[in-house]
Amino acid sequence: MCGIYGIAKSPTPYTKRQHKVVKKVLREIAIDSQSRGSHSSGIAKVGTSTRIYKSLLPSEKFVDTKEYNEAVKSLLDASYILLGHTRFATEGAIVKSNAHPFRVGNVVGAHNGCVYNIKEMQGKLDKQCPVDSQLIFKSINDNDNIQEAVKDFDSDFALSFVKENPMVLYLCRETNRPLHVAYVPELKTLFYASEASFINDALIMHNLDADVYSLNKNTLYAFDTSRFDDLKTNVEKTLFKYESRTYRWNINQYPTNRGWGHFKNASQVVDYNSQQELEFDDDINDDWSKQWLNDEALELAEIFQTSPNSWFFDESDDTWYYVCPHSEEVFSEDKMFNDKYGIDVWEEVEVKNAS
């Protein structure tokens, strides 16, 4: 699992006060998004020029870096869109170059999900890449429309991307991956994130009132920032056909209440077509919980080359811990990650947009 988040803003300049509010809201969303992945962080600023920053820092630390704050500062005069990502690694090593967002041709994007037909896509698209998500953006780059692109996929996905026009943010999802948005008219700004509560909690914290919408599945949303006004985004929607995989377990729920905030039932989340996409229950199915814990322990064991029996999950602080079988010392997942991979690496990629 991973988290995607970000904003799109009108070309109308922010006042200093507005920018300060936007910065605070986005910071909270970015920090909450860490619960969906802490192996790396990244953010792309898109506008008069495009620049991607990547780091192995978890998001709660990434938001305090010069690079992240440079991206947010660019909203004052140079950027219309920020694409953020927090990664839980599934395909590809945990190195800075494998962090999202990615630039593939004319596409800059971030992906939450997995690709299951990697070899097929590599052959069809004539592209070898270390991270499966890059194949998705290669297909989007090479095709004229989303319907043709998704024909290449056997994937779970929620996507945020910009293609060619730096003023248009594209968002879409299939059945198995969540994606939510909220538009704040007084700021002429759209916020988006994988989970509704990430947006809602940040807005409430900073006294902003806006509905949080769950995006419809199999629909490409084109948010043209030049069309944002004092009431709405004037979004354009394009339906596409896609057959999602069917899972026994809901892969987008979690066995703790962290990050759910004020959303204890679906009635508090608004859908674009008045069809509720979120269904959060207070009671977690015990069988599902056991399966989730087992899968996560196996993932961590593979990443750190340990036994899955050496990992345990502490619900009180929503953290995985490793118990060394020899010394019986206990280490958090973050500590294991920092010791194994280090945290002092960055990637800065700058691409000038064609005039």
Domain boundaries, the chain: 3-248+342-352, 286-340
CATH code at 3-248+342-352: 3.60.20.10
Give every CB contact of residue 289 below 8 A, 6+ residues apart in sequence.
Answer: 255
pLDDT per residue of the chain (355 residues) written in tens, 0 to 9: 689 999 999 999 999 999 999 999 999 999 999 988 777 889 999 999 999 998 888 899 999 999 999 999 999 999 999 999 997 655 555 566 567 798 989 999 999 988 898 888 888 888 777 678 889 999 999 999 999 999 999 999 999 999 999 999 999 999 999 999 999 999 999 999 999 999 999 999 999 999 999 999 999 999 999 999 999 999 999 999 999 988 754 555 433 333 323 332 333 344 433 333 323 233 334 444 556 577 677 877 877 888 888 888 776 666 778 888 877 788 887 777 667 654 333 333 444 444 3
Task: Name residue 155's beta-bridge partners.
Answer: 115
Q: Distance between CA atoms of 338 and 34, rounded to whole angstroms?
A: 15
- The answer to whether the CB of 167 falls within 8 A of the CB of 161 is no
pLDDT at 263: 31
CA distances for 172 relative to 107, 160, 273, 316, 335, angstroms:
15, 7, 15, 34, 35
- The answer to whether the CB of 216 falls within 8 A of the CB of 269 is no
3-class DSSP assignment, residue 7: strand
Q: Distance between CA atoms of 197 and 32, rounded to whole angstroms?
A: 9
- The answer to whether the CB of 50 falls within 8 A of the CB of 350 is yes
Q: Distance between CA atoms of 302 and 276, rounded to whole angstroms?
A: 37
In sign, the C-alpha dihedral spanning 191, 192, 195, 196 is: positive
Token duo for residue 341: 């991979």
Report which residue type is found at 263. F
CA proximity to 264, closest of 251, 282, 250: 282
Token duo for residue 201: 């909690």
3-class DSSP assignment, residue 17: helix
Q: Distance between CA atoms of 191 and 194, rounded to whole angstroms?
A: 11
Tens-digit pLDDT profile for residues 150-168 = 999 999 999 999 999 999 9
3-class DSSP assignment, residue 285: coil
In sign, the C-alpha dihedral spanning 125, 81, 186, 21 is: positive
Tens-digit pLDDT profile for residues 30-74 = 999 998 877 788 999 999 999 999 888 889 999 999 999 999 999
Q: Distance between CA atoms of 197 and 187, rounded to whole angstroms?
A: 20
Q: Distance between CA atoms of 22 and 305, rounded to whole angstroms?
A: 41
3-class DSSP assignment, residue 318: coil
Q: Distance between CA atoms of 245 and 48, rounded to whole angstroms?
A: 39
Q: Distance between CA atoms of 213 and 70, rounded to whole angstroms?
A: 29
- The answer to whether the CB of 218 falls within 8 A of the CB of 157 is no
CA proximity to 62, closest of 91, 89, 90, 99: 99
| Burial (Cβ within 10 Å: 0-12, 13-18, ≥19) of residue 190 | buried
- The answer to whether the CB of 18 falls within 8 A of the CB of 72 is no
